[in-house]
Amino acid sequence: MSRTAPVIPGPDAPLADRDGVIWLDGALVPWREARLHVLSHGLHYGGSVFEGERAYDGRVFKLHEHSARLVASAREMGYALPWSAAELDAATREVVAAAGLTDGYVRPVAWRGGDTLRLVAPDSRVHVAVAAWPWPRIFTDGPRGIRLHTARWRRPAPDTAPVRAKTAAQYALGSLAGQEAEAAGRDDALLLDHRGRLAEATGANLFLVLDGALHTPPPECVLDGITRRTVIALARDLDLTVVERHLAPAELERATEVFLTGTAYEVQPVTAVDAREYPLGEVGTALAEAYTRTVRGGTGDTSDTTGTGDTTGTGDTTGTGDTGDSGVGGPVGEVPAAVPDGPR
């Protein structure tokens, strides 16, 4: 198979009609031939799981953490992937190399196939695909803030939905909230949780600066984003106080800065939430610069980037099956419209 670099499509080119290859069930196949049957179980019942990853200078940042979370998300949704996290790491590197990517976006996805449409289908074959394509910075002319709209949709309680999985079932809410925000003339949506507390954006984690300290909701009904965890570690390296606690919407009134974190957004300043406005502040700027240095530093693509010793490919770095990443971060509501995932 030819490994010549594909022509880079324009930002409006349909994702389904591009040159290149996609890794599908263990082999590279021509891009346009990477298909699934219309009666696939995952298409009908929301059981697919996925990741959103970024390549910087040809290396996927936190690759193993993303692969491990894909494995854990599938397990949370009741099925096992046919490939280990380590094997998914290798597949991802193969796809990135085949695409000739320097800076790019990577989308692994897994789903139950078309063996049956029975709702309970434990024996259905599981499929896995990995695609990658060129990905510039969201804002090439420097950072700018985005404006959020508080959605009527809320994140569910952890005992009512598979909140630890990065799954299509969870992203339906983000899609609806994002459509609502765009219809209101905003860039993204802010979702509350089931108790009316601040939760996250459609696919990115939320941070507030209050009295000089960084405050963020605990990952109880939202994904514990990989970018979120990275930024928290960077904040502590900068001697910033980090507080994980429940936040009431009223606390937006006294916040001096607001920003989001996610794979696509990286560290994204927020300049308005509904009628409240915020500046591009020093804390968010310092963290954005530190994050850029980190992802460009070549330390993100290792067999174990978590410090937990998970090099087995089981995907469980916590003992609970939760490998994190608020990646409910997503495809809808982000700027520009081509942004596929705020996949934390």
| DSSP letters spanning 144-210 | --EEEEEEEEEEPPTTTS-TTS-BHHHHHHHHHHHHHHHHTT-SEEEEEETTS-EEEESSSEEEEEE
d(CA 116, CA 216): 42
Q: Which residues pair with 127 in a beta bridge?
A: 111
d(CA 275, CA 74): 40
d(CA 307, CA 142): 33
pLDDT of amino acid 69: 98
pLDDT of amino acid 139: 59
Burial of 14 (0-12, 13-18, 19+ CB in 10 A): exposed
Higher pLDDT, 142 or 178: 178
| Chain centre distance of CA 273 | 22
pLDDT of amino acid 301: 45
d(CA 177, CA 182): 9
Higher pLDDT, 87 or 3: 87
Is the per-residue pLDDT at 12 higher than 70?
no
Cα-based distances in Å from 268 to 145, 199, 285, 286: 7, 16, 9, 12
What's the average model confidence in pLDDT over 179-188? 97
Annotated catalytic residue 166: yes
Contact 343, 330 (CB under 8 A): yes
What's the average model confidence in pLDDT over 253-258? 98
Burial of 226 (0-12, 13-18, 19+ CB in 10 A): buried
pLDDT of amino acid 344: 75
Is the per-residue pLDDT at 337 higher than 60?
no
**Domains by residue range for the chain, with CATH:** 21-134 (3.30.470.10), 146-295 (3.20.10.10)
Is the per-residue pLDDT at 207 higher than 70?
yes
Catalytic residue among 59, 155, 164, 166: 166
pLDDT of amino acid 11: 55
Name the residue among 265, 231, 261, 292 with its Cα closest to residue 57.
Answer: 292
pLDDT tens digits for range 77-116: 999 999 999 999 999 999 999 999 999 999 999 999 999 9
Q: Which residues pair with 266 in a beta bridge?
A: 262
**Mean pLDDT lowest for which of 7-21, 60-74, 81-95, 174-188?**
7-21
pTM (2 d.p.): 0.84
pLDDT of amino acid 190: 98
pLDDT of amino acid 312: 36
Contact 39, 115 (CB under 8 A): no
**DSSP state letters, 279-309:** ---HHHHHHHHHHHHHHTTT-S-SS--SSS-
| Chain centre distance of CA 239 | 27
pLDDT of amino acid 316: 38
Kindly indicate the confidence band of residue 321, based on its pLDDT and cuts at 50, 70 and 90. Answer: very low
pLDDT of amino acid 315: 38
Peptide bond into 336 cis (omega under 30): yes
Kindly indicate the confidence band of residue 193, based on its pLDDT and cuts at 50, 70 and 90. Answer: very high
pLDDT of amino acid 59: 95
**Mean pLDDT lowest for which of 4-18, 101-115, 134-148, 189-203?**
4-18
d(CA 301, CA 97): 14
Kindly indicate the confidence band of residue 313, based on its pLDDT and cuts at 50, 70 and 90. Answer: very low
d(CA 295, CA 59): 9
d(CA 216, CA 311): 29
What average pLDDT does the structure give for the chain?
Answer: 86
Burial of 154 (0-12, 13-18, 19+ CB in 10 A): middle
Contact 46, 167 (CB under 8 A): yes
Q: Is 225 helix (H, G, I), strand (E, B) or coil?
A: coil
Kindly indicate the confidence band of residue 46, based on its pLDDT and cuts at 50, 70 and 90. Answer: very high
pLDDT of amino acid 137: 66
What's the average model confidence in pLDDT over 264-281? 96
pLDDT of amino acid 331: 31
- Kindly report the number of other CB atoms within 10 A of residue 97's CB atom: 12
